A and B are shown apart, each in its own frame.
Chain A
């Protein structure tokens, strides 16, 4: 009441200066209508469809060669910097290595607040102390941590509003993905496929931090799919969900993907398909109930997680999900039924030469790992991995980072010990004389055919952004950040970042100026026209 006499003044200011109203509430409706505010990047993939496409076109094929760096922000942290920033009304929110988060003036790069998680000394995340980003809703940003908490930070100060424990990190669980906000829920999944966890996807009330539902990606006794696990293997079955899902409001369905069954390199002891590992899941976001599932790799023994962002594509009456899977095949699936429409290899594949009754690639028996090792393509890191693909509705092409690398897969019996690494052996670089390489590939989702490719000298971990300017942006392991013509794959511009790109780029605008942002090394770079 004390401040009520200022209220008219504040309202007046807001109506006169809407552009400077930094930090306005991000409502669930704004997330649904993200296309109406192309200057902002409101969630990990830019919108609910998983397109990672920006409708901004100030930077385009005619002027991209003039791009220049505008500012850089350094986290001063080591390890992989995997974040995709959010931008809302002039403020950029992002995460960094070792569970940092920060807010910046998106025009100047100057810091507004910084948050550093006080991580326990005994966390042992599998694959680097990484985080891929935030979700935003109301006046809060949401963050999944390496010690397996979900926390809400005040978007104006970085102060902790609530802190929910998802699971005991000492048992091998962690969170590295950017949460997905739907309605008033914050949805996350866990990492830990290297430890014999039992994976799950959780939804938390954005207001209170109370957990509203949990979907176990490995079904327990009496649940459908439980019969696909041998004996008690389900208890340590893995199937983590460590990449952000997408959401179809028209059917109120959220799509999530899962990773490998544990132990990754050993199928003995877990006979069966091992549902819902390496699967695409269609969930009701209100209840966490499973609508349907599609399993890409049954009874996986090669660590081929399906944790690639599910990309929703609409072609007239057809509502599809496309995924370039880590196992080397590009899949197109009916979004309402989960039925496979077709699959086509988009990278070198040696593990499958035939399809099963449902049309899905079937595994050759001799592709299984052996005690002394067995060469299989793609390698353990996959034909692609977590780095985001993009779908450009203008070119109607799906662009994905492909890795051409074969590995030698070995297997060995291994007793399970809680919280300890549980691989069932390992993989090794193969003895091929030719070096590994990579490519950005443009795939026609109608046919699965590759329209063009841009060769990388070595496999990269960069994701891809497409824009209405007719461009795709990606990075390489040699440190270049590159703009390509989306129609032809010709390079129009590049910038040497000084370290490999381990992230997926995004775009935003401040006033009349469009920016492209990407993390590389310890630095977040932004680029714009001069």
Chain B
């Protein structure tokens, strides 16, 4: 149920904006090309002018460490916040132009900010962005990440005996107690996904990101007893010093002022069971991951 350091809930809304952003980008892209033709400098274009330039890739690694590794991890292998970029499959495109756009403009509706707009760190010049792309190419695995297992069987498990869909939604189907996993396959490293299933309490999923707040709300487990004696267990959707917004096991929303509760107890022990080998064999887990990856790549 709530292990899920995985999906960013906000990712769903991203798709609504992409059409507009793409059109805006087309204009900007066209303007950038014109500008680039007029002035001999490295700017937005179709292919990386620094492709296969080892020195540029090394400079790109410095930039990557400063600007990207906070979420995408050292070596671009992914972290708790950003996808593994050594995979050839990338949800928002893997052409040079796609990567340049993703880095420059960010991905609306996701945690990926536009270049220079993170409020931390300095941002990059166009040249530095191309250096980063050269670096990403240098660490990208040669063979495209093939599904690890049988995605069709994984889907059957997800919505069937593995009971993932009791709490997780994919494509609008499933439960609400845990994060929506529609985009999670592409947004998180494989090791991270495995760990989330086998050991869900080790690090909880990130949930709400509030305006300007640096650290996301997580899917913590909560138990409350109201003043009139009602006992509820569920996940924290959001919380501050004075209030809590939670969902109980029956997917009912509850909104409380903490000082009016009889008791309030939070735990970082996830409501999601740790799926051991008996509950989900290694092979079945690979099938579920293959399913997540196949959905995430769509």
Contact = CB atoms under 8 A, between A and B. Distances in A.
A458 interface: yes
Interface in B193-241: 201-203, 210-215, 218, 239-241
Given A434-B268, A500-B210, A521-B212, A476 B240 contact: yes
B215 A500 contact: no
Q: How many interface residues does chain B have, given as a range? A: 35 or more
Interface in A478-493: 478-480, 482, 491
A414 B74 CA distance: 16
A128 B118 CA distance: 7
A426 B268 contact: no
A407 to B, nearest CB: 10
B123 interface: yes
A242 B123 CA distance: 20
Contact of B69 (A421, A428, A433, A500): A428
A476 B212 CA distance: 11
Contact of B122 (A195, A429, A494): A195
A435 B240 contact: no
Interface stretch (B58-66, B99-107, B137-145): B58-66
A499 to B, nearest CB: 4
B79 interface: yes
Interface stretch (A19-27, A119-127, A351-359): A119-127
Interface of A is mostly: loop
A130 B66 CA distance: 20
Interface in B55-94: 59, 61-63, 65-67, 69-70, 73-74, 79-81
Interface in A451-469: 455-459
B202 A457 contact: no
Contacts of A496: 240
Contacts of B252: none
B65 A494 contact: no
Q: How many interface residues does chain A have, given as a range? A: 35 or more
A229 interface: no
A386 interface: no
Contacts of A494: 241-242
Contacts of A425: 62, 65-66
A143 interface: no
Interface of A: 79-80, 124-128, 194-195, 372-373, 410, 412, 414-415, 420-421, 423, 425-429, 431, 433-436, 455-459, 476-480, 482, 491, 494, 496, 498-500, 502, 521
B211 A124 contact: no
A338 B229 CA distance: 60
A412 B63 contact: no
B119 interface: yes
B120 interface: yes
A124 B123 contact: yes
A419 B236 CA distance: 44
Nearest to B63: A421
A175 B23 CA distance: 36
B122 A479 contact: no
Given A421-B63, A428-B69, A459 B122 contact: no
Nearest to B128: A420
A94 B56 CA distance: 44
Contact of B214 (A431, A459, A499): A459
Nearest to A482: B241
Given A80-B212, A128-B119, A480-B241, A410 B74 contact: yes
